[in-house]
Amino acid sequence: MSINLPQKSLTASDIRERKGGGPLVCLTAYTTPTARLVDPHCDITLVGDSVGMVLHGLPSTLGVTLEMMVLHGKAVMRGLSRSLCVIDLPFGTYEESSEQAFRSASRLLAETGATAVKLEGGVHMAETISFLVARGVPVVGHIGLTPQSVNVLSGYKVQGKGTDAQRVLADAQAVSDAGAFAVVLEKIPQALAHRITQTITIPTIGIGAGPACDGQILVVDDMLGAFADFKPKFVKRYAELSQQASQAIEQYAAEVRAGEFPEQMHSFGPPV
């Protein structure tokens, strides 16, 4: 079945207008080749601060710098022609003040050419979101499990259970009212995600938040099975690249040691 997708680059307004429409498809990307792969299929491509863990081997997202996000943002933008590019503001680059957030966001957008930034936090970040939007910076919110707050949250636990649901709902409403054009709901009960999606006026993008959201996002390396020993409950693996890559590398090593590679077809000039 063929799908007719728009050829122009999507805008923040395009995404916002998809509220209640067809589900938004979103994935992360950190490199140009990956961006080229996801671009024809995704509405939003997120240059997530998860790059610190996925590509740099960091134990959490807390060590990611603005310079790293600029570097990977530029790489991803070289591979996109249709998908809207959103870049995470890393930990420590926006929490101090609205002014700090604007300096960080304006640098990311100016140096990469991306369309929007994403920041974590609800009620306490509403003023900052409003400040950014008023100055021409499109913003995606992120509530529920916020990885940059992992030390405060005591790990990567489900948020919004029981009476805590009111806090998450208030965060969602605050982000929407502040002018964000979409919000990521991470690792919250699906009933709460459904309630939020029905309550606020901007699209919700779920990751571990059930099927009722207006869209879904996954870390591309997780859904491709790039890591054999990491599989969160909310991730469906569509490939097993780690296993396939390991087998290919093992075969290569065996052929080199056996003198079977390279063969004449892989060499230049007459054999010696």
pLDDT in tens, 85-128: 999 999 999 999 999 999 999 999 999 999 999 999 999 999 99
Domains in the chain with CATH codes: 12-239 (3.20.20.60), 242-272 (no CATH)
Rg (CA), the chain: 21
Q: Is the dihedral of CA 66, 72, 75, 76 positive or negative?
A: negative
Decide: 5 and 40 in contact? Cβ < 8 Å: yes
* 3-state SS string for 164-177: HHHHHHHHHHHHHH
Is 164 annotated to bind a ligand? Reply is: no
Model confidence, pTM: 0.94
pLDDT score of 8 more than 80: no
pLDDT score of 220 more than 50: yes
State the pLDDT confidence band at 265, using cuts at 50, 70 and 90.
very high
Is 49 annotated to bind a ligand? Reply is: yes
pLDDT in tens, 9-27: 999 999 999 999 999 999 9
Q: Which candidate in 67, 96, 111, 186 is catalytic?
A: 186
Nearest CA to 32 out of 89, 81, 66, 90 is that of 81
Mean pLDDT for 39-66 is 97
Helices 98-112 & 126-134 angle (0-180, nearest 10): 50
Is 120 annotated to bind a ligand? Reply is: yes
DSSP 8: S
Task: Give the strand pairing for 116-118 and 215-218.
Answer: unpaired
CA–CA separation, 222 vs 239, rounded Å?
A: 9
Query: Catalytic: 96?
Result: no
Is 118 annotated to bind a ligand? Reply is: yes
